[in-house]
Amino acid sequence: MYCTRKIAEHIEWVGGNDRRLALFENLFPIPRGVAYNAYLILDEKTALLDTVDSSIARQFFENITHGLQGRPLDYLIVNHMEPDHCANIEELMLRYPDMKIVGNLKTIQLIQQFYGVDLDGRTLIVKENDELPLGRHTLQFVLAPMVHWPEVMMTYEKTEKILFSADAFGSFGALNGAIFNDELNFERDWLADSRRYYSNIVGKYGPQVQAALKKAATLDIRMLCPLHGPIWRTDLSYLLGKYDLWSRYEPEDQAVAIFYGSMYGDTENAVNVLAASLADAGIRDISVYDVSSTHVSQLVSESFRCSHLVFAAPTYNNGLYPAMETALLDMKALNLQNRTVGIIENGSWAPQAGNVMRSILSEMKNMRVLENGVTVKSSVKDEQIPALMSLRDEIVKTMQQA
Ligand code: FEO
């Protein structure tokens, strides 16, 4: 049975949800599932904006068959050529033989590269700011390269003032009936997954997101329609503000996130002592994560949220504890910048973890490593307490300065 929702006059949401997929991109846990959004415009011409993942193709075709009410599909707009959005292009070409595929040159190259289909006479190639009239509605194309992939573009519908924004402004999480931001509790139920999605999927491309935000600022936008997660039709400045911070690598919160690896509980003990002393000193937003049991996407997400990060890890193979190395290298790969960082290392005979952590951090932009590092030899003793308290004091002082 079809399951669609009207988002504006003659514009329908025709996407769907996958609540069975465990790992998005076979990497990221999505216990709340994921939505693949697609949109259908019915005018003198009909246009479909993107398709969906192959896992929900059946639902998708029921939706568009219902939405079209027997009419042919004139245009498929391909804003993003990643398979979670374009898995159904070939089937659409077969079902709608007069349908034109609308994309930029890179889009068309990628369609051929992925699917090897004969596109002769089936494409309409567009450039920045080109327009496609559908009747009462007009689409304007806004290129947004590397707001995930190089071919990405956004489509602005001028009559209803809707920006179809591709991966930008998306989130992990299935849409549970409610598809608009004002129908759900975003801050409570979605913000963490929205941040985890942004930081891990698009986080590396902050400058390109900034460029897209600048283009978006020139448009009068009433509604943001991403390819994943809720549609935004109120309070757009809230989400735009988050994207501005995230893409400039500025923290959202003056907060401490402590990431630790611990083989037998001793490095964890040092972290507990530090966290308790921070709370005693009046710091209220403290998070503690075991890097061995917390998915790295969550660690990355928290590193994008918090102003102060503490990394605490044992020495391992004369280097760094592997789970911590993975976390730090992922943060580096995603271009994390502008954080204040504390270091705690443990090493029973030749501590090296601190050196490796400092080396990785030195290759990241504007990471201020606090002077008061802590070295634990096997387990915390009285002699480490002054160093832990000095680290606490430096964290408190730099938070107050901020
Ligand atoms: Fe949702 Fe970059 O694909």
Question: Ligand 1 centre and the CA of 378: distance in Å?
Answer: 45
Across 216-228, average pLDDT: 98
Residue 252 belongs to some domain of the structure:
no
Q: Mark whether 319 and 196 lie in a shared domain.
A: no
Question: Ligand 1 centre and the CA of 79: distance in Å?
Answer: 10
Question: Ligand 1 centre and the CA of 70: distance in Å?
Answer: 30
* Ligand 1 and 227: CB distance under 6 A: yes
Element (H, E) at 257: strand 253-260
Residue 212 has pLDDT above 90, yes or no: yes
Question: Ligand 1 centre and the CA of 82: distance in Å?
Answer: 5
Residue 316 belongs to some domain of the structure:
yes
Point out the ligand 1 atom lying closest to the alpha carbon of residue 227: 1
- Report the greatest alpha carbon distance in the chain: 79
* Ligand 1 and 80: CB distance under 6 A: yes
Q: For residue 40, what pLDDT is reported? A: 98
Q: For residue 66, what pLDDT is reported? A: 98
Question: Ligand 1 centre and the CA of 275: distance in Å?
Answer: 37
Q: Mark whether 193 and 264 lie in a shared domain.
A: no
* Ligand 1 and 165: CB distance under 6 A: no
* Ligand 1 and 166: CB distance under 6 A: no
Residue 401 belongs to some domain of the structure:
no
Rounded (5°) CA angle 239-59-222: 25
Q: Mark whether 312 and 163 lie in a shared domain.
A: no
Q: Mark whether 206 and 320 lie in a shared domain.
A: no
* Ligand 1 and 85: CB distance under 6 A: yes
Question: Ligand 1 centre and the CA of 67: distance in Å?
Answer: 24
Strand 340-346 to strand 368-369: parallel, antiparallel, or no bridges (unpaired)?
Answer: parallel
Question: Ligand 1 centre and the CA of 220: distance in Å?
Answer: 25
- Residue 80: other Cβ atoms inside 10 A: 25
| pLDDT tens per residue, range 73-128 | 999 999 999 999 999 999 999 999 999 999 999 999 999 999 999 999 999 999 99
Cα(75)–Cα(88) distance, integer angstroms: 14
Look at residues 207, 225, 247 and tell me which one is the last residue of a structural domain: 247
Strands (E), 261-377: 286-290, 306-316, 319-320, 340-346, 368-369, 374-376
* Ligand 1 and 334: CB distance under 6 A: no
Which two tokens mark 388?
């832990």
For ligand 1, atom 3, name the residue with the nearest CA: 82
Q: How much of the chain exceeds pLDDT 90, in percent?
A: 100
Confidence of residue 402 (pLDDT cuts 50, 70, 90): confident
* Ligand 1 and 228: CB distance under 6 A: yes
Question: Ligand 1 centre and the CA of 140: distance in Å?
Answer: 21
Q: Mark whether 230 and 274 lie in a shared domain.
A: no
Across 31-47, average pLDDT: 98
Task: Give the chain's radius of gyration (CA, Å).
Answer: 24
Point out the ligand 1 atom lying closest to the alpha carbon of residue 228: 1
Cα(72)–Cα(119) distance, integer angstroms: 18
Confidence of residue 294 (pLDDT cuts 50, 70, 90): very high
Q: How many domains does the chain have?
A: 2
Point out the ligand 1 atom lying closest to the alpha carbon of residue 152: 2
Question: Ligand 1 centre and the CA of 330: distance in Å?
Answer: 19
Residue 224 has pLDDT above 90, yes or no: yes
* Ligand 1 and 18: CB distance under 6 A: no
* 82: CB partners within 8 A, 6+ apart: 148, 149, 167
φ/ψ of residue 225, rounded to 5? -120, 95
Q: Mark whether 224 and 100 lie in a shared domain.
A: yes
Point out the ligand 1 atom lying closest to the alpha carbon of residue 149: 2
Which two tokens mark 339?
């954080």
Question: Ligand 1 centre and the CA of 167: distance in Å?
Answer: 5
| pLDDT tens per residue, range 336-392 | 999 999 999 999 999 999 999 999 999 999 999 999 999 999 999 999 999 999 999
Sign of CA dihedral 56, 296, 152, 185: positive
Question: Ligand 1 centre and the CA of 201: distance in Å?
Answer: 8
Residue 323 belongs to some domain of the structure:
yes
* Ligand 1 and 167: CB distance under 6 A: yes
Q: Mark whether 120 and 179 lie in a shared domain.
A: yes
Residue 62 belongs to some domain of the structure:
yes
Q: Mark whether 206 and 266 lie in a shared domain.
A: no
The mean pLDDT value of the chain amounts to: 98
Look at residues 247, 276, 304 and tell me which one is the last residue of a structural domain: 247
What would the 3-class secondary structure string for 311-343 be? EEEEEECCEECHHHHHHHHHHHHCCCCCCEEEE
* 202: CB partners within 8 A, 6+ apart: 147, 148, 167, 168, 209
Point out the ligand 1 atom lying closest to the alpha carbon of residue 82: 3
Across 132-139, average pLDDT: 98
Helix (H), strand (E) counts: the chain: 13, 23
Residue 146 has pLDDT above 90, yes or no: yes
Look at residues 247, 282, 314 and tell me which one is the last residue of a structural domain: 247
Cα(154)–Cα(10) distance, integer angstroms: 20
Which residues lie across from 46 on neighbouring strands?
A: 42
Q: Mark whether 197 and 269 lie in a shared domain.
A: no
Residue 273 has pLDDT above 90, yes or no: yes
Residue 402 belongs to some domain of the structure:
no
Residue 153 belongs to some domain of the structure:
yes
Across 23-46, average pLDDT: 98
Point out the ligand 1 atom lying closest to the alpha carbon of residue 148: 2
* Ligand 1 and 339: CB distance under 6 A: no
Cα(383)–Cα(134) distance, integer angstroms: 74
Cα(141)–Cα(131) distance, integer angstroms: 6
- Rounded-to-10 torsion of CA 359, 364, 370, 376: -40
Across 163-187, average pLDDT: 98
Q: Mark whether 238 and 274 lie in a shared domain.
A: no
Residue 131 belongs to some domain of the structure:
yes
Rounded (5°) CA angle 359-303-257: 95
CATH number where 262 lies = 3.40.50.360
Q: Mark whether 236 and 273 lie in a shared domain.
A: no
Cα(231)–Cα(222) distance, integer angstroms: 11
Question: In which domain, by residue range, is 10 found?
Answer: 5-247
CATH number where 208 lies = 3.60.15.10
Q: Mark whether 266 and 187 lie in a shared domain.
A: no
